[in-house]
Amino acid sequence: MSLTFEVVVEDPVINVEVTEYEVGTILVAGPQGRQGDPGRGVVPFSEILAECDGATTTFLLSQVAISLSSVQVFRNGLAEVAGIGFALAYTGLGTTVTFSTAPLSSDVVAVTYHI
């Protein structure tokens, strides 16, 4: 399985480093919006949701995200919008992603977050 991402960097950009990981996830290190760099000891983590079957809407992530704001969800390479395409929550079991529409078995859903 292969995911392709196109990264477009617009000027002005200061001290930005782009790293591509094996699973096809792009992490941009440097100024990261209003929250800034997550800091030392924070590890970016990525996973592909394998349980997509067209019926299941709630998925438990394999790790607990340190912040729900660090979670990014991509369906077939397109970013989903939190609060519209999906919702996030902490439960007694960990971090869950609940989609408003169940991903199809043909969908590739990638999730990146900080642990």
Question: Is residue 11 scored above 90 in pLDDT?
Answer: no
For the segment 13-65, what is each residue's pLDDT rounded down to a tens digit?
444 455 554 444 445 444 444 455 556 667 888 999 988 999 999 999 999 99
pLDDT computed for residue 73 by the predictor: 95
Average pLDDT over residues 89-96: 93
For the segment 65-84, what is each residue's pLDDT rounded down to a tens digit?
999 999 999 999 999 999 99
Joined together, the tokens standing for residue 112 give 């990146």
